[in-house]
């Protein structure tokens, strides 16, 4: 079946603008994650949804970042007043909860490359 | 807090050589999961393997093998008879049961396999 999809693949914006990044998880996966990957680094956790609710948002760097998943499927990561330091690849992943959630492998999308000029 | 260390930033080998990628982890949890992901130049992370902390059996899958040693907190990855298509960045990662279900990644090892 289809994997995790993310749109847009690339986003260029100006400092101070608002952006939305979209993630469409694998069908049936109730858990959804957002990570951010800076150049030369490993992905860093931002937020995790179980169903519609954010189960852990401890990785969001500040209150300019917000994410929603209103129907328990597609998720949108929203960044307000973007800064040059927000430039990175934003990765989305999903996992199933069959057999319990802990440690289930997470399947990643291709990412959205965000560039803030 | 948990941590994953991949001390090798970049490794270059000639095709058909064997190569081992090192991974050392830190956690106070007794139950945890270890992962390896591959990130080819296309950028998409590809899941390779998951081990839980109670299963120290080594695993072999084709040319890939993994050595998990709790005594040294290591989860090393060996590619036998490397091929050019193995060129990628490889990430080791950790999930601890006391920390939600988020992956903590190492900084990755860039593997270059040349002809």
Which tens digit of pLDDT belongs to each residue from A13-64? Answer: 999 999 999 999 999 898 999 999 999 999 999 999 988 999 899 999 999 9
The pLDDT value given to residue B74: 96
- Percent of chain A scoring above 90 in pLDDT: 81
- pLDDT (tens, 9 = 90+) of chain B, 115 residues, equals 899 999 999 999 999 999 999 999 999 988 899 999 999 998 899 999 999 898 888 888 899 999 999 999 999 999 999 999 999 999 999 998 766 788 999 999 999 999 9
Which residue in this structure is represented by tokens 């080594």? B58
Q: Which phi and psi (to 5°) does residue B70 adopt?
A: -65, -30
Q: Which residues of B touch A43 (CB under 8 A)?
A: 45, 91, 103, 105
Kindly provide the residue ranges of all beta strands, DSSP E only, lying in B72-108, ordered along the sequence. 74-79, 88-96, 98-101, 104-105
Mean pLDDT of A94-101: 70
Mean pLDDT of A85-109: 84
Mutation target among B7, B103, B110 for the A interface, most CBs of A within 10 A:
B103
């Amino acid at each position: 079946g289809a994997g995790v999809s993310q749109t847009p693949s690339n986003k260029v914006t100006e400092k101070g603008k608002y952006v939305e990044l979209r993630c469409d998880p694998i069908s049936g996966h109730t858990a959804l994650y957002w990570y951010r990957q800076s150049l030369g680094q490993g992905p860093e956790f931002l937020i995790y949804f179980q169903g519609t609710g954010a189960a852990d948002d401890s990785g969001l760097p500040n209150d300019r970042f917000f994410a929603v998943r209103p129907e328990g499927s597609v998720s949108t990561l929203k960044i307000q007043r973007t800064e040059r330091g927000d430039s990175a690849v934003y990765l989305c992943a999903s996992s199933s909860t069959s057999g319990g959630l802990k440690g289930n492998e997470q399947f990643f999308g291709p990412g959205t490359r965000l560039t803030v000029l | 807090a948990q941590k994953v260390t991949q001390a090798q930033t970049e490794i270059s080998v000639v095709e058909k050589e064997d190569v081992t990628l090192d991974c050392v982890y830190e956690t106070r949890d007794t139950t945890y999961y270890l992962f390896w992901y591959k990130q080819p130049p296309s950028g998409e992370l590809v899941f390779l393997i998951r081990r839980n902390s109670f299963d120290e059996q080594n695993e072999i899958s084709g040319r890939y093998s993994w050595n998990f040693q709790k005594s040294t907190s290591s989860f090393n990855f060996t590619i036998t008879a490397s091929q050019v298509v193995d060129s990628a960045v490889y990430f080791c990662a950790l999930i601890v049961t006391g920390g939600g279900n988020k992956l903590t990644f190492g900084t990755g090892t860039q593997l270059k396999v040349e002809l």
